[in-house]
Structure 1
Amino acid sequence: MTYRGRFAPSPTGQLHFGSLVAAVGSWLCARHAGGAWLVRMEDIDPPREVAGAAAGILAALPAFGLVADEAALFQSQRTAAYDAAFAQLRAAELVFPCTCSRSQLTASGGIHRDGQCIDGNPADREPAWRLRVADVEIDFVDALLGPQRERLRESVGDFVIRRADGHYSYQLACVVDDAWQGITDVVRGQDLLDSTARQIWLQRCLQLPTPSYRHLPLVVDTAGNKLSKSSHAWPIDPAEPTPALRRALAFLGRPLPDLPVGADELLAHALIDFDPAQLPHCSGSSIG
């Protein structure tokens, strides 16, 4: 299949340096393979969204030379597809309603493994819906980190795919949209490595293809904390893109000569002799 990659930010803040690294890494891999690079806005959690963030991210990416090959997909417009996937899982009896509180799951370490609600689903509360997880090992080979294995029932248990407020989970939306967009290769940060086994299980339940995964090292601050919008990581300046782009490329092992060139030229230079296998493996590198 022709390579199809994607960058999928959530509009919980403006583009910051850690997100730029993920975007550049996924773009480099797609262009190296001669494939398509898409942008998907994961705007399915309205309480966490920041007004104007989606538009700001989409406006910033081209300033850094990161131009998508198709129009951006907004998950907020994909509810019907998630409804259909949920109905498929429900018809197969792979999901169940659950009103269990965190305190009720304390004895099991916060993990639900019963395949049914232990709270009894009282009528005065809207339930979340959990996906039943079988006692199987999920094995996959990360293209950067090598073989991975997780016994999902022990580590995560039956996990929520639709919340009590009616919003679908990141896991379900991501799986449905990766399949619908024909994504063959997922390049993203190592903070999402622990989501991969859950997504593979969902793919199996929905009879969807499993893409290749490559998890990039995370950018942290000098205190060792991951840069994220939720931790108020500093945004980057699309009006002056080359300093941040140079730093992102250097973080990904593509240091460039100090030439007075723009973003497009920097990315073109970074693609020369680029090898995805030589991307850095170690997570938690500091930008100083």
Structure 2
Amino acid sequence: MNPSAYIGRFAPSPTGPLHFGSLVCALASFLDARHHQGQWLVRIEDIDPPREIPGATNTILKQLESHGLFWDGDLLYQSQRSDAYNAALAQLHRDGLSYSCNCNRQRVAALGGIYDGHCRQHQVGSDSAIRLRLPETERDSTITFEDLIVGAYPQNLCSEVGDFIIRRRDRLFSYQLAVAVDDQFQHISHIIRGSDLLDSTPRQLYLQGCLGASAEQTAAMQYGHLPLAVNGEGQKLSKQNHAPALIPGEESSNLWLALEWLQQAPPVELRSENSATILSWAISNWSLAKIPNCAEIPAPNSV
């Protein structure tokens, strides 16, 4: 592999400190990049102020550094990218690919969450949500990609998703739009993240095509979706489920446990080494093929 061809990224939202589940994602993306002599970027996805916690960004960055997960280049903050997202919205509007939607959540929920195009004849307005117009035919709306962990993953956007929101009614940009724009802007080639985002990938690939990426470019994108780390009740480790923050001073243990969880078989004696030594071993021995293709794996009891 040409080292310059690999650009990976970790993209946390500042809704709280890192926990074991987010460390697993950060570590896996970091190791995959370093194993292939690629770049590893960090992007702060801070475009949803109502969900964000003051000071969380600094906490997350310090946690990454304390675990030896140092990123390349400058940080990218989505909160500073409004001009780029507005330009993307304008392009989609010019191309006839977007429209305003005034449907409320109750109506969409009654449809089973798959939007039926009810507002497709509306023009784009300033006080409405904006949806992306999907193609009419099943062939054109089916996106399939080969996940590095899960394998082939097809999704028919029309029948399984429907026209989806790219700007919310409160004028906040959607996650799908911001990610598609920024992955193109940063020339991201490899994305290793949690399987809770697996079904978002076809939308992001389709959006990139709408925004000018060629079929060859989107086909070259590599995704690997990790199993979810779950607690004793089978719930995904998340801030919403009160997953405990990583404990300062436990970095070596955290890394070793994360490597074990990722099925990398770290030697027991490595657990007492410092972060740099653990990461050096992990980079040399990293293998995505060892990660099981399953929906979830219980988190260690000690985290």
* TM-score using structure 2 length: 0.89
Deviations 1:25-66 (A, max 9, x none): 001100111100010000000000011101100111011110
Which amino acid counterpart does residue 267 of structure 2 have in structure 1? L
Match of 1:235 among 245, 264, 267: 245
- 8 A Cα contact 1:115 1:132, kept in partner: no
Distance apart, 1:12 and its partner CA: 0.6
Change (3 A) 1:115 1:104: closer
- 8 A Cα contact 1:44 1:167, kept in partner: yes
1:108-187 aligned within 5 A: 108-114=111-117, 116-117=119-120, 126-134=127-135, 135=137, 136-187=141-192
C-alpha separation between the residues in 1 aligned to 2:85 and 2:35?
32
- 8 A Cα contact 2:191 2:222, kept in partner: yes
SS at match of 1:25: helix
Aligned to 1:14: 17
SS at match of 2:14: coil
Residue 230 of structure 2 is aligned to residue 220 of structure 1: yes
SS at match of 1:97: strand
Match of 1:261 among 273, 279, 289: 273
Aligned to 1:85: 88
Match of 1:281 among 282, 293, 299: 293
How large is the RMSD of aligned CA atoms in angstroms? 1.8
- 8 A Cα contact 2:229 2:236, kept in partner: yes
Which amino acid counterpart does residue 126 of structure 1 have in structure 2? D
* TM-score using structure 1 length: 0.94
- 8 A Cα contact 1:219 1:283, kept in partner: no
Greater Cα offset, 90-99 or 203-212: 203-212
SS at match of 1:230: coil
Which amino acid counterpart does residue 9 of structure 1 have in structure 2? P
- 8 A Cα contact 1:12 1:230, kept in partner: no
Deviations 1:181-238 (A, max 9, x none): 1100011000100100111110111122422111011100011100011222100023
Equivalences, count = 285
SS at match of 1:105: helix
Q: Identity across aligned pairs (percent)?
A: 46
SS at match of 1:231: coil
C-alpha separation between the residues in 2 aligned to 1:138 and 1:281?
20
Distance apart, 1:117 and its partner CA: 4.6
Which amino acid counterpart does residue 177 of structure 2 have in structure 1? L
Question: Unaligned stretches of 5+ in structure 1?
Answer: none
C-alpha separation between the residues in 2 aligned to 1:60 and 1:106?
38
C-alpha separation between the residues in 2 aligned to 1:115 and 1:75?
31
Deviations 1:106-144 (A, max 9, x none): 5532322326358x79x9x92100001124211111011
- 8 A Cα contact 2:102 2:119, kept in partner: no
- 8 A Cα contact 1:96 1:115, kept in partner: no
- 8 A Cα contact 2:99 2:132, kept in partner: yes
C-alpha separation between the residues in 1 aligned to 2:49 and 2:109?
29
- 8 A Cα contact 1:22 1:189, kept in partner: yes
Which amino acid counterpart does residue 168 of structure 1 have in structure 2? F
Which amino acid counterpart does residue 261 of structure 1 have in structure 2? E
Match of 2:78 among 75, 79, 85: 75
